[in-house]
Amino acid sequence: MLTFIAFAVFATWYTTCLFFYVATDEARADLAPEFEQKYGIDAMTHPIVMADYWRDGHYNIRPLVGLCIFLTIVSTGLGIMTFCTVSILRYLSRAESLLSTKTRQLQYALFRSLAVQTIIPVIFLHANCALAIGLPVFGIDFSLFCDFISVSCSCFPPFDAVATILLMRDYRKAVRSIVMCSYCTGGFSVLINGFFLFLIVFNSPASLTRYKVLLGNSAATDLVFSLSTTFLQCRLIPNKWAFAYVALGPAKYFGEQVSYYTYVLQLHSLFYLFLCFPVIISLRVDNGYC
């Protein structure tokens, strides 16, 4: 069923864009200066999907038909979602006494997840697309918001996934366990500090001559600390009056000495960076960066 729906919607949109949202030469010529100024492309030859609603003092029928198809698809989808939402709520209210606590909690969690998965695309995708497609029918200029509309459409997939993860308890637990994993945080730290070091070396302004060295020193030290942390995977084990550190990362396969030296390197980079902070702060004050 889902495969059929996906194919049908794709075919509908493909046909609509192919036959009803056609970029005519006159419309391309009108947009050519803005295309050249904003994107540096030739509007006369670049592939474009265009709805030219008004031309020569009258409405064009083809893009209006495409608009009607769009509104039909969206309104049908919203109608089905509304009907299903009401049906689910009625079923849960009737069957509440027949369901176990765990099953009821799971069903309500799934319902909340579906509701959020519906609301997010409506806000970030459908509403924005409706504005982009519908406002030109009335001659309303929305050029100030066109870039925002494109960005908000790209925000929909991550927000949708994050919202679902936060609403489902099992997913939240899995994310918590992954975040607590030093491989994840350490690897991310290595990437960020490596990129930061790249920016310092190749993109620092000339005015940061001395401060650039200290920034590079901090980034390199953080990078060493991240590498040693990821390689060591040190875990703390307390026991009332005592505590111990144990290496659970790749360092454990190289023997005690390698683990010990890696731990010393980790401590050294941590406290070395801490002792460098007064120098960095004094240089910032001396050069007027604060």
User: Could you state, in chain order, the average pLDDT of each consecutive group of 10 residues for the chain (290 residues)?
Assistant: 75 82 83 82 82 83 87 82 80 74 75 77 78 83 73 74 78 72 74 88 76 81 88 78 80 87 86 73 53
Distance (Å, whole) CA 263 – CA 235 = 11
Predicted confidence at residue 181, as pLDDT, reads 61
Which pLDDT score is estimated for 178? 64
Predicted TM-score (pTM) above 0.85 = no
Cβ contact 43:31 at 8 Å: yes
pLDDT at residue 208 in the model: 67
pLDDT at 114: 75
Domain range list for the chain: 99-180, 182-287
The predicted pLDDT at position 121 comes to: 78
